[in-house]
Structure 1
Amino acid sequence: MDKRLLAILAAIGASAIYGLNHTIAKGVMPAHIEAFGFIMLRVLGASILFWLLSPFAPKEKIDKKDYPRMLGCAVFGMCINMLFFFKGLSLSTPINSSVIITLSPVMVLILASFILKEKITLIKGIGIALGLSGALALVLFSADSVSNAPNIPLGNLMFIINAFSYGFYLVIVKPLTKKYHAITLMKWLFLMGVILNLPVTYSEFTAVDWLNLPFDAIWRMAFVVAGTTFSTYLLNIYALKQLSASTISVFIYLQPLIAIIYAVLVGADHLTTIKVAAGLMVFVGVYLVSFKKTKTRA
């Protein structure tokens, strides 16, 4: 099979896993594991998998001057980012999370304008305004609560913080990706993530009745660790060998589509007028930001 086609399939596969994750992870909280306990399971499981894989990657020594940046990456990419996403998911709905998560490119642009001094054009400014307005609409005008979503506005606000944290992580991790192999970075960042998350997540992690978990909870947890956290990264790495980063970034639009279809089909969430309207504002805003960036590069 053509390598480019395989790369496209890998990128689609990664986005599909992310899309399914919104509902699958939601289904296990809080009945079997609380949000913060889930984060410890996620970073610990991924850390173990990446360290098991590390003997097959090039042996690299981390430069001492890079440790502060790596710590920052772990704080924003493996700690704040994950804690706010899963806590938000336990409070809100899968459709809201899948829509707001697409704000990450907008957050990257805002942060890049401050940190990297990139210019924000009029089109980009309109895109930022639309995207943030759509996200805020979900926070301000969603129902206060529904079944298995006890505080939707607070959960949606946490998704925005999650997108901001992940966007900052993408900005500060970029120099490291040019210097070190992906496996080298991931094994150290996730190990740091385990240490950083331990004080916050320990009590909820140890409160889980691990020996008596039903199969429905086990496969969902395994999916989040092996699928959402580990496999998606490897799929994206493979895709990057054949496709440009800008091409792969387009696949983020598949996440809410897959998440909404799956959530509605299994009855985990439902569409409302506010979700559709706010979602369109977010999508158009992100499109304007991404479109202008692609045009400039061309």
Structure 2
Amino acid sequence: MVSKFRLHTALFLVSLIYAGTYSLAKDIMPHYMQPLGIVTLRISGAALFFALLKRIVAPNDKITGRADNIRAVASGLLGIALNQVTFFAGLNLTTPINASLLQTVSPIVVVLASAVLLSEKITPTRLLGILLGAAGAAALILSRPSTGKVPANLLLGNTYLLVNAAVFGLYLVLVAPLMRTYHAFTVLARIFLVGAIVVVPLGLPQAIAADYARFPLFIWGELGYMIFFLTILAYLLNNWALKFASPALLGVYIYLQPVLAVLIAVATGKDTFTLDKAWQAALIFLGVWLVGRKPKAAVEAAPSPAAS
């Protein structure tokens, strides 16, 4: 049995890594590198790392069967390529707090996807949660920043982040059976390879166009953070923690991540937290909490996407 301290440490570090990304990425984009350039470096670096790790740790493990291979390709397209492209494209156009709050709607998408793909029942409580979460997300997407200055394409950036949350929720449902069947490094190596095949041809021109000679030291540090901590370490810690964490514990850390993101964004002067964002966040959090509540009769009958 894994110790609670190690489990909480892993989940907290994952939340902290993701939370810091919202503010740190704003230093890099768009002044030093465009979004697709960052995504290209992240995915190509992680694809090489996980391919090597898979060869060392699980050399004989292979994804077999037409259905599982299709699922792996779909997971790579959604969870790696589209997920990371929409995240950085959206964050480039919106604010760190907006981005962090919009990403918390992923559990709502997980429930909707489970209802369609796994025939999981949507109860009245969950339906209310979906409506509240959607209302909070819509209000946040359409809101103006507290400074009164509306960044160009703010609505587009918020929409990208909503799409990001949706595709990540679908990815969690799709990848869960693969994680239960194969070694985690086998799955990660395959889905990052798929992501690299899609993204690298699109983002390589932006990665090459960056003027690396004028990067100050802190930008190199933040770029390294994006590649190692955000892409590699967070995936490793998250996949390890998912094997031992209960859905209730995962739910706690779903709410912790945007809280940490808000604190970091405010502390670094990247964003401000207002009363408007507070009530929008409250609607989203309440919606996610209601969606996360399973009816007693369905606890054993239906799989829990959050626990996979």
Q: Give the deviation of 1:218 after TM superposition.
A: 0.8
Bigger shift: residues 70-79 or 238-247:
238-247
TM-score, normalised by the number of residues in structure 1: 0.93
Bigger shift: residues 85-94 or 270-279:
270-279
- Name the counterpart of 1:141: 143
Q: Give the deviation of 1:24 after TM superposition.
A: 1.0
- Name the counterpart of 1:122: 124
Q: Give the deviation of 1:293 after TM superposition.
A: 6.0
Query: Structure 1 residues 86, 293: closer, same or farther in 2, change over 3 A?
Result: farther
Q: Give the deviation of 1:163 after TM superposition.
A: 0.7
Q: Percent same amino acid at aligned positions?
A: 35
Letter in 2 for 1:123: T
Letter in 1 for 2:261: A
- Name the counterpart of 2:16: 16
Query: Structure 1 residues 261, 294: closer, same or farther in 2, change over 3 A?
Result: farther
Q: Give the deviation of 1:249 after TM superposition.
A: 4.0
CA separation in 2, counterparts of 1:71 and 1:8?
Answer: 31
Query: Structure 1 residues 272, 297: closer, same or farther in 2, change over 3 A?
Result: same
CA separation in 2, counterparts of 1:87 and 1:131?
Answer: 23
Q: Give the deviation of 1:110 after TM superposition.
A: 1.0
TM-superposition CA deviations, 1:26-79 (whole Å, max 9, x none): 221001110111110110111122223224422212214122211111111111
Gaps of 5+ in 1: none
SS of 2:270's partner is coil
Bigger shift: residues 229-238 or 154-163:
229-238
1:138-217 counterparts in 2 under 5 A? 138-143=140-145, 149-217=151-219
CA separation in 2, counterparts of 1:240 and 1:288?
Answer: 21
Q: Does 1:47 align with 2:21?
A: no
CA separation in 1, counterparts of 2:34 and 2:97?
Answer: 20
Kept in 2, the 8 Å contact 1:142–1:153? The answer is no
Letter in 2 for 1:151: N
Bigger shift: residues 5-14 or 90-99:
5-14
Letter in 2 for 1:182: A
Kept in 2, the 8 Å contact 1:101–1:159? The answer is yes
Q: Indicate the RMSD between aligned Cα atoms, in angstroms.
A: 2.1
Bigger shift: residues 2-11 or 93-102:
2-11
CA separation in 2, counterparts of 1:281 and 1:69?
Answer: 33
Letter in 2 for 1:166: F
Q: Give the deviation of 1:143 after TM superposition.
A: 3.9
TM-score, normalised by the number of residues in structure 2: 0.90
- Name the counterpart of 1:62: 63
Q: Give the deviation of 1:146 after TM superposition.
A: 7.0
Gaps of 5+ in 2: 301-308
Tell me the number of residue pairs that the alignment of Structure 1 and Structure 2 aligns: 297
